[in-house]
Structure formats: structure tokens, C-alpha cells
Amino acid sequence: MTTSFRLPDLGEGVHEAEILALPVVPGQAVREGDVIMEIETDKAAVEIPSPYTGTVSEILVQVGDMVVVGDVLITFTSGAAEEAAPSPIQKNQPKAEAAATGPEPRQEQKQKPVPASPSTRRLARELGVDLHEVSPTGSGGIVTREDIEAYAGRKSIPESPAETSKTPPLAAPTAIPPAPDRTTLPDFTKWGDIERLPFRSIRRATARQMTSSWTQIPHVHCQDNVDITELEAFRQKHKTEIKAAGGRLTMTLFAMKAVATALKNYPYFNASLDLQTQEIIIKHFFHIGIAVDTENGLMVPVIRDVDRKSIKELAIELDGAIGRVRAGTHSREEMQGGTFTITNAGALGGSHFSAIINHPEVAILGLGQGRMQPAVVTDERGRHEIVPRLIMPIVLCFDHRVVDGADAIRFLRLVIDALEDPDELLITMI
């Protein structure tokens, strides 16, 4: 019999992908685990291993296609009865329905029935558990309710279609309906040559993410300046040894540490808002995303447990991450799980700007370029004088639904103090 391979649910709200490569051809025999295609999702490029052993009978997609979870990509001729995608997704996909053929014969004669009570069998069916896979604990090899539940617990099971259809995935970007585009664009060719490029994958993901964030979250921006004269001196002093260790000592690193400390003091900045349950989710881990500009567009690798790592460790880890995202060799996982994001426009020469929160996070910190500026300094005797200092613009954008301005100021103050006084920073780091 033929089996269709559908784009599996890759989790994390990923619902579509672009086909990057198709190393197999119709008629080709593949073994389970062989790479049959390479796809790029919103989050990363992934290689897809074949779930079956069999022969490729038909390839229904081409390189460059955008495909949606549940779409049939390749069909195999094999003995495999099971379909790749769990049934709920097929249900939501008209294409899948179309692909489905006539009724298969009744199961009865297929395999020897597994001993289990009718109610147990019903439970198994609803949890999508194949009784043959479950190891029985009942007398004389009878499968019990508990066996099913245990098995289901191990392998995370999609809910039955009845439930899934009820609860729309609010967190998923798709949940935000883009306002109907009522503006028809003029014909630009009237004024000169144009080029039409596909609006897809990372570009599109960014667009969707930003739209949802901007339309959903009431943003508030706190601008300020940081006197990083001392910190810069400190950086110059230590950057060679860090370089030796295989990292780059950047302002971003100091900001990460300062932010980690601030997040500990103000946990509401390390949170997410769950509108469905009407709850604020406070995260007890501090994974900070760093906005990286790549040729494919904006990418945000996440550095885990910033609070528990030394500047040096972070420097090395961050440098590696940046290298991977620019090369496109990063994994999906390292792009996930951030609790706060830092974006540093300084390197590119940007100064004052505002940033959009990386939903579902609740705040983002932006750093501008440090420039020598005249500053008024007051000495201990209270005398003022104007001296050149290295001043860095800094901006904190936060979700006013979750935190208030006062806290934001305090949060920002904490960060600024840390950055203005390296010793302070070093102390809080410990």
C-alpha cells in the first residue's frame, strides 16, 4: 500500500516551511532515517529523515515551495500502515482529505487482537496509542488502562480532534488575523523597473512576529544615556585575553550580565502574558536572546542561563552562536526559549532608536553606539565641569500590560548603574 509523508508538526508554532532541497527521486528506495528533504522553517533549516523504509513513489513538492504542516510532500510504496502526521492535523487539512483514498478493510483480521477491555481499547484509540506497541502488565498479558496512560505519558500524544478543534492556538502567530489589506498597490513599473521577490520564510516570519507584537502589545519606551567611559576602558583592558579564549568582548556581554541581574530583581520583566488563562507566567530561568543581523535577515539566537555564566563563557558562547546563525548552521532549538532580548545597534553606528518586543517576551533592551560627548561631571566637592565622556544611548521597551513605568525606570536604572561602574557590575555578577 502507499503511504503519504506529510510535513510533520515541528512544534513551537512552526506551521509552514520552505523546501530547500530534495535529495530523493521517484523510484528511489529509502531506509527509515535517510534524509529525504531539507526544509527551512521560520526558525531554522532542518533535514527531514524518512519515517519509512520503502520506495519513493511520488514527490508532490518542488524546491522553493512553501508547504504547510500536514501537506502531503512525498508518497512511498511500503508495508507501513501508519501515517506520519497525527490525525488531528489531517482533519484540518483539506489537501490531506483529498489524498485519502477509499475505505481500508476492517481491522479485525489485520492483526491478532491485543487483549484489553473495551474501555481500555477506547482510551487507546482516543490517545492515538497502538495497542501492539504497549507492553502489558495485566494477568496473562492483558493491557490495562494504566499501561496505556503510562505509554501515552512517555510519547506526547496529540489531543483528540474534538478538543483541538475547540482551542485555537492563541500563542501561534497565525492566531493574529492580519487586517484585510484593502489597499491595492499602484503599478510601480509606470515609474521604472521593479523586481518582485518572494516574501517568505525568515522575512515573512519576522514580519508576522513584528506585526503581532506591535499590534498586540502596548509598547512603552524608556530612553536614557549611559556613561560607559570606565566600562570601555575595562573592555579594552580585557578584550585580548577573551579573544585568546575564542570569544569577543562586546558591550552586549556586559549588557547581558547587567540585564540578568535586573531581571532577578524585577521578575515581571522575565515573564510572558497568557491571555487564555489570564495569567502572567514568571520564568525562573534567564535565557537572553541577542538580535543578530544576517544576510537572510534578523535572527535571535538564545543564550541560556546568562545569570550562571561568566563573561568569558558568555563571550565564547555568543560568538559561536552568531557565527552559526550567519552561516545558517544553527539548530532550531538554540533559537527558542528566550525570556528577554537585547539588540545592539551600536556596532552598525546606530544611536537613538526604539525596539519592538520579541513576543511572547515582555521587554527588550536596545543599545546605541557609544560616542564621545561633552558631559557635566560634579566632583565630590560639588564643583561642576564639562568633560568629554563616552556616552551610550540605551532604550528599554516594555509591555505596559505586564509592568509599569516606575518599575521600568528602576529596572533601567539598575542596568545603567551596572554599566557605568564596572566594579558594581562585577559584584552583581558574582
In sequence order, the β-bridge partners of residue 363 are 398
Q: Does 115 bind other proteins (CB under 8 A)?
A: yes
> Could you tell me which of 363, 397, 334 has the C-alpha nearest to residue 272?
363
- Whichever of 179 and 194 has its CB closer to other proteins, that residue is 179
- Whichever of 118 and 382 has its CB closer to other proteins, that residue is 118
Burial of 146 (0-12, 13-18, 19+ CB in 10 A): exposed
Q: How far is the CB of 52 from other proteins (least distance, A)?
A: 21
Q: Say how far apart CA 351 and CA 193 lie, in whole Å.
A: 34
**At CA 314, angle to CA 310 and CA 315, rounded to 5?**
115
- Whichever of 32 and 146 has its CB closer to other proteins, that residue is 146
Distant-in-sequence, close-in-space partners of 106: CB < 8 Å, separation ≥ 6: none
Q: Does 97 bind other proteins (CB under 8 A)?
A: yes
Q: Does 102 bind other proteins (CB under 8 A)?
A: yes
Q: Do 298 and 228 meet the contact criterion of CB atoms below 8 Å apart? A: no
Active site residue 132: no
One-letter amino acid for residue 44 of the chain: A
Q: Does 221 bind other proteins (CB under 8 A)?
A: no
User: Of 32, 47, 104, 333, which lies in the binding site for other proteins, with binding defined by CB under 8 A?
Assistant: 104
Q: How far is the CB of 104 from other proteins (least distance, A)?
A: 5
Using CB under 8 A as the binding rule, the residues of this chain from 75 to 94 that contact other proteins are 87
Terminal Cα distance for the chain, rounded: 63
User: Of 21, 58, 121, 203, which lies in the binding site for other proteins, with binding defined by CB under 8 A?
Assistant: 121
Using CB under 8 A as the binding rule, the residues of this chain from 266 to 325 that contact other proteins are none
Using CB under 8 A as the binding rule, the residues of this chain from 9 to 48 that contact other proteins are none
Q: How far is the CB of 162 from other proteins (least distance, A)?
A: 4
The residue count for binding other proteins (CB under 8 A) is: 37
Q: Does 215 bind other proteins (CB under 8 A)?
A: no
Burial of 322 (0-12, 13-18, 19+ CB in 10 A): buried
- Whichever of 138 and 297 has its CB closer to other proteins, that residue is 138
- Phi, psi for residue 17 in degrees, rounded to 5: -155, 160
Q: Say how far apart CA 125 and CA 141 lie, in whole Å.
A: 19
**Exposure class string for 64-99: b at 16+ Cβ within 10 A, else e:** eebbebbbbbbbbbbebeebbbbebbbeebeebeeb
- Whichever of 142 and 171 has its CB closer to other proteins, that residue is 142
- Whichever of 211 and 369 has its CB closer to other proteins, that residue is 211
Using CB under 8 A as the binding rule, the residues of this chain from 124 to 183 that contact other proteins are 125-126, 128, 138-143, 160-162, 165, 177-178, 180, 182
- Whichever of 156 and 277 has its CB closer to other proteins, that residue is 156
- By residue count, the chain amounts to 430
Q: How far is the CB of 112 from other proteins (least distance, A)?
A: 8
Q: How far is the CB of 85 from other proteins (least distance, A)?
A: 15
Q: Tell me the three state secondary structure of residue 46.
A: strand
Contact positions toward other proteins, by CB under 8 A? 87, 97, 100-109, 113, 115-118, 121-122, 125-126, 128, 138-143, 160-162, 165, 177-178, 180, 182, 184
Catalytically active residues, by annotation: 400
